[in-house]
Amino acid sequence: MIRENSYWMGIAEIAVTPDTGVVQVTKFTIGIECGKIINPRQLERCMKSGVVMGVSEALKEEVTFDKGKITSTTWSRYKILTMAEVPEVKAVQISRDDKGYGGGSEGANAVCTPAVAAAFFDATGVHARRIPLPPAYVTTLLKG
């Protein structure tokens, strides 16, 4: 994926519990080639925090509606990953002195959802047609 003038990639390793519908991302590898890297330590922080945000989006984050308005209106009910649910993250960076500069921030979370969806298909043979993948939806998908 190209985002912020950088090349991004993501690989999710997941575990699916068919009886409960729980999907857990156990490992995530994220990579970037963004031209010349100025601050690799800060870039790694951005990459890893982006994975936390992106996996939360893929598994839990959902805006809910009724017929006339948004019903998810408080942060206390908005679901995100807990620290115990954060996967092991490996960040891979390629610095290119022969290129200009790209962005290495918000692009990180964008690679997570397609990586999780692909891993879900690889694990189950079922295409999820929406995100997030909460247990109730996954159970319905797996029942066919």
Share of the chain above pLDDT 70, in %: 100
User: Alpha-carbon distance 64 to 13, whole Å?
Assistant: 28
* pLDDT tier, 129 (very low <50, low <70, confident <90, very high otherwise): very high
Domains in the chain: boundaries: 2-124
Q: Token pair for residue 61?
A: 């984050």
Residue 116 pLDDT > 90, yes or no? yes
Torsion 119-127-8-39 (CA) sign: negative
Q: Are 79 and 60 in contact (CB under 8 A)?
A: yes
Half-sphere exposure of 5 (CA within 13 A, CB side): 9
Instruction: Give the pLDDT of residue 100.
Output: 82
pLDDT tens digits for 9-40? 999 999 999 999 999 999 999 999 999 999 99
* Single pTM value for the model: 0.90
Overall fold of domain 2-124: Aldehyde Oxidoreductase; domain 4 (3.30.365)
